[in-house]
Copies of this chain bind each other. A is one copy, B any other.
Amino acid sequence: MLPKGFYCNGLHSGIAKQNTKKDLAIFYSETPAAAAGMFTFSRVKAAPVLIDIERLKKYKSFHAVVANSGCANACTGLKGRKDAETVACETAKCLDKAPESVLVASTGVIGRFLPVEKIKKAMPELVKTAKEKNEKKAVEAIMTTDTFAKFISKKIKVAKGEIIIWGCAKGAGMIHPELKGLHATMLSFIFTDAGIEKKQLQKLLEESAEQSFNCITVDGDTSTNDTLILMANGQSKTGKLSKNDMAKFKSALDEITLSLAKMMAKDGEGATKLVEIEVKNLKKRADAKKIASTIATSPLVKTALFGSDANWGRILAAAGRAGVDFDQSKIDVYIGNIMTAKNGMALNFDESKAKKILNAKECKITVDFKSGKESSKYYTCDFSYDYVKINGSYRS
């Protein structure tokens, strides 16, 4: 359920080759909304990312996010920027709002120009039909190699009424968020009818991303286009939130971002399973995270996961190359609840039980360093034939 005052829709405008694939989405608020954003840390930034970063710095309130799949509008130079501005301008015209109140996002093949005329032609209908609030259509329009539409909402009770938070995401490939300040990865748009001012909204978003989008990987490849936007339009009319209500809001936002992040890892290109990697009991959280991220990204670990092979040696080998100093003779490794290595050494364990655990749709690996109190979780997926298939012929 969309928050009060928000509308959305998605349709096929002609960017995608197949004419059944929706490729253009709009999300908008009738009233002005505060907005926060995080974008790819890549040095190669797509045109829409450059525009959004500028607008979020410069302006206070926003009305819409317009997003397309099928074309990344990255590595398209000044023409790319003009194209993205034209799309924003056209959207604003149809909404009867200021052009700079529209944020833009793109995903798809790098190095192609946006078919602006097709988008312009489709915009009036897209905006008109957004009143239907077709969430599924809107989210489908930003999907690329995703196999299901990812969106979720939560309603929270606060002192002066109810607040809704709604979020969506697309993932699948080029997924390895590493959010730094105003920098993030993948497409995700989150909307709420809470009334929260810009600065606080940005802080909430950054903290929430740190425990969600910042802890997933599909292939270790960070994209040129990744965009995370949070808009709050205050239409719940619940006023300024008390400390207690703000804590509730934060907790609901964190649940939403973590759910979306896990959906992205689960739906990684070619993935057959979602794998949680927990690295426990080190002195520094940053070290735990570095090790968890290295294990989660290792091609050898990920192919073993695909084969449901309890090859814990590869897990330790990946930990070893993470660039963190540790004592290998203290480490225990668990596949699900089965201890496969103790104090850095092989244990006799039931291979068929371990295989069964790894054969499930979701499984967990725990690496316990027994050297401190800091831990970190990372979510990843396996590396399958289909990953190679999807990416060996992506453009064709």
A80: nearest chain-B partner, CB-CB: B345
B residues near A317, Cβ cutoff 8 Å? 42, 44, 74, 110, 174, 221-224
Interface set, chain A 163-195, CB cutoff 8 A to B: 173-174, 176, 178
Number of copies: 2
Interface centre among A109, A176, A393 (most CB of B within 10 A): A393
Assess the A387–B320 pair: CB atoms within 8 A.
no
**A11-19, A88-96, A121-129, A296-304: which one contacts chain B?**
A296-304
B321 lies within 8 A of A42 (CB):
yes
CB distance from A184 to the nearest CB of B (A): 12
Residue A111 contacts which of B44, B312, B384 (CB distance < 8 angstroms)? B312
A221 touching B319, Cβ below 8 Å: no
Most buried by B among A41, A43, A396: A43
Q: Are B328 and A395 in contact (CB under 8 A)?
A: no
Binary per-residue interface labels of chain A (373-396) against chain B in the complex, 1 for a CB within 8 Å, 0 otherwise: 000000000011101111111111
Within 298-320 of A, Cβ neighbours of B (below 8 Å) are at 298-300, 303-304, 306-307, 309, 311-314, 316-320
Q: Is the pair B76, A345 in contact by a Cβ cutoff of 8 Å?
A: yes
Task: Indicate if the CB atoms of B75 and A311 lie closer than 8 Å.
Answer: no
Query: Which residues, 269 to 325 on A, are CB-close (under 8 Å) to B?
Result: 297-300, 303-304, 306-307, 309, 311-314, 316-322, 324-325
Complex alpha-carbon distance, A190 and B178, angstroms: 41
* Central interface residue in A220, A224, A313, A385, by most chain B CB within 10 Å: A313
Q: What chain B residues lie within 8 Å of A220 (beta carbons)?
A: 297-299
Name the residue on B nearest A389 (C-beta).
Answer: B385
Instruction: Name 11 A/B residue pairs within 8 A (Cβ), A-sorted.
Output: A43-B319, A43-B325, A74-B317, A109-B313, A111-B316, A219-B299, A224-B316, A306-B388, A306-B392, A385-B385, A387-B388
Q: Nearest 3 pairs between A and B by C-beta?
A: A110-B313, A307-B392, A44-B320
